């Protein structure tokens, strides 16, 4: 059975349910602030172009981590490995860990900007903010890639239909 809604009838629940039909890699977007490292679980991080290397992330204006990105003018996008489910929960606010406690020094490093990079990330982009576009209830933050980290060859943590999935199985 399928659901359909005309453009004037699309509410937030229907919008998110439809987005949930697309599998996407889970990321933790990080920065630093006067209060220490900060971050959130991000599902809307993407590349813009390879020339020059540029990334973007959409950040809800209610997200505490946005203040660090805006003040420091940098951010990092960390692609989570399959075994990072507990870390994803911590950055989504679904665990006892919060704030700087999520950044165990042995698990994190920095590259060029000072934004935290997860050592076990499948890959990470360290970015300097170049543009900010305000739209609806989010800030679209665009950043020039300053440095990258390519991690171990392992399976990704995937978000699909409202759940986390470990890996992708066999290629099609």
In order of their start, the domains of the chain are 25-161 (2.30.110.10)
- Which pLDDT score is estimated for 34? 87
Could you say which DSSP state residue 51 is in?
T
State the average pLDDT over residues 77-81.
Answer: 97
The whole-angstrom separation of Cα 172 and Cα 165 is 17
Task: Specify the pTM.
Answer: 0.89
Cis, peptide link before residue 103, omega less than 30° from 0? no
Using DSSP bridges, classify how beta strands 53-60 and 45-50 pair: parallel, antiparallel or unpaired: antiparallel
Spacing of C-alpha 59 from chain mean position: 9
- Listed in sequence order, the residues at least 6 apart from 15 whose beta carbon sits closer than 8 Å to its beta carbon are none
The whole-angstrom separation of Cα 132 and Cα 142 is 6
Average pLDDT, the chain: 90
Whether 141 and 129 have beta carbons less than 8 Å apart is answered as yes
Q: pLDDT-based confidence at 172, cuts 50/70/90?
A: very low
**Does 63 or 21 have the greater pLDDT score?**
63
- Which pLDDT score is estimated for 67? 92
Measured on CA atoms in the order 127, 129, 134, 139, is the torsion positive or negative?
A: positive
State the average pLDDT over residues 39-43.
Answer: 92
Q: pLDDT-based confidence at 24, cuts 50/70/90?
A: confident
Whether 118 and 78 have beta carbons less than 8 Å apart is answered as yes
pLDDT digits (tens, 9 = 90+) for 95-154: 888 888 999 999 999 999 999 999 999 999 999 999 999 999 999 999 999 999 999 889
- Which pLDDT score is estimated for 3? 62
Q: What is the largest CA-CA distance in the chain?
A: 50
Whether 38 and 59 have beta carbons less than 8 Å apart is answered as no
pLDDT at 8 over 90: no
State the average pLDDT over residues 12-27.
Answer: 83
């Amino acid at each position: 059975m399928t659901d359909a809604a005309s453009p004037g009838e699309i509410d937030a629940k229907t919008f998110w349910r439809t987005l949930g039909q697309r599998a996407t890699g889970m990321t933790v977007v990080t920065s630093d602030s006067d209060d220490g490292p900060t971050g959130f679980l991000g599902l809307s991080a993407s590349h813009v172009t390879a020339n020059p290397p540029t990334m973007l992330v959409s950040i809800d204006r209610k997200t505490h981590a946005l203040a660090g990105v805006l003040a420091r003018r940098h951010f990092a996008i960390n692609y989570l490995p399959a075994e990072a489910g507990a870390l994803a929960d911590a950055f989504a606010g679904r665990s006892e860990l919060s704030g700087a406690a999520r950044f165990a020094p042995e698990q994190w490093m920095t590259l060029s900007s000072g934004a935290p990079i997860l050592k076990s990330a499948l890959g990470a982009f360290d970015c300097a903010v170049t543009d900010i576009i305000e739209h609806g209830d989010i800030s679209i933050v665009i950043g020039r890639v300053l440095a990258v980290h390519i991690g171990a060859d392992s399976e990704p943590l995937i978000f699909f239909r409202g759940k986390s999935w470990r890996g992708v199985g066999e290629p099609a």
